[in-house]
């Protein structure tokens, strides 16, 4: 039994869901998202509650059941509330600034790194004295936001000895002890 797939999705006010040729379209106050789903999954909207059903109890259908429900739920939350992630740059001389959709990062390399962000993502880079620079990314598409954050983080992953690198705000990095000298 798929616990995730069987749980219904309550639609907030102002959110509409339409299914047309195996493409689910979710419209809300923040925007509109589309997602292609498996044609054998049935999606029903009744009285502001969306349910996803599978045709049989085969293993592949069970897997697709929970996935389909989770993708639709992420779209509903995205168009009603939106998603927000914060990245923190930890290291001496690490800086971030944005000009429109271009994010410029100084991460200790010999050159600055310029990243062109998708138009769907709103970016804000804040650098205060006596604190680490923070990059705030907002988007209605959870999948796109996570992918962009992973790309930015991969430029300088946090290392376990000094803790330097790009990390999510509030992320705890497990530290290792360095080499100890012989006595």
Question: What are the pLDDT digits (tens) for 51-72?
Answer: 999 999 898 888 899 999 999 9
Which domains, and CATH codes, for the chain? 3-80 (3.90.930.12), 83-168 (3.90.930.12)
At residue 75, does pLDDT exceed 90?
Answer: yes
Residue 2's pLDDT band (cuts 50, 70, 90): low
CA distance 90 to 134: 9
Q: What is the pLDDT of residues 11-58, one digit of tens each?
A: 999 999 999 989 999 999 999 999 999 999 999 998 889 999 999 989
């Amino acid at each position: 039994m798929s616990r995730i797939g069987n749980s219904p999705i309550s639609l907030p006010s102002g959110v509409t869901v339409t299914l047309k040729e195996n493409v689910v379209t979710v419209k809300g106050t923040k925007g509109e998202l589309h997602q292609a789903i498996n044609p054998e999954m049935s999606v029903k909207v009744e009285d502001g509650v969306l349910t996803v059903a599978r045709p049989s109890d085969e293993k592949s259908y069970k897997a697709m059941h929970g996935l389909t429900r989770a993708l639709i739920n992420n779209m509903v939350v995205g168009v009603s509330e939106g998603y927000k992630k914060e990245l923190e740059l930890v290291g001496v001389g690490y800086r971030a600034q944005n000009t429109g959709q271009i994010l410029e990062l100084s991460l200790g390399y010999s050159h600055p790194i310029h990243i062109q962000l998708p138009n769907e993502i709103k970016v804000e880079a804040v650098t205060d004295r006596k604190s680490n620079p923070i990059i705030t990314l907002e988007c209605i598409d959870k999948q796109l936001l996570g992918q962009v954050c992973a790309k930015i983080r991969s430029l300088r992953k946090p290392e376990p000895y000094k803790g330097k690198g790009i990390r999510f705000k509030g992320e705890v990095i497990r530290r290792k002890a360095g080499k100890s000298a012989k006595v």
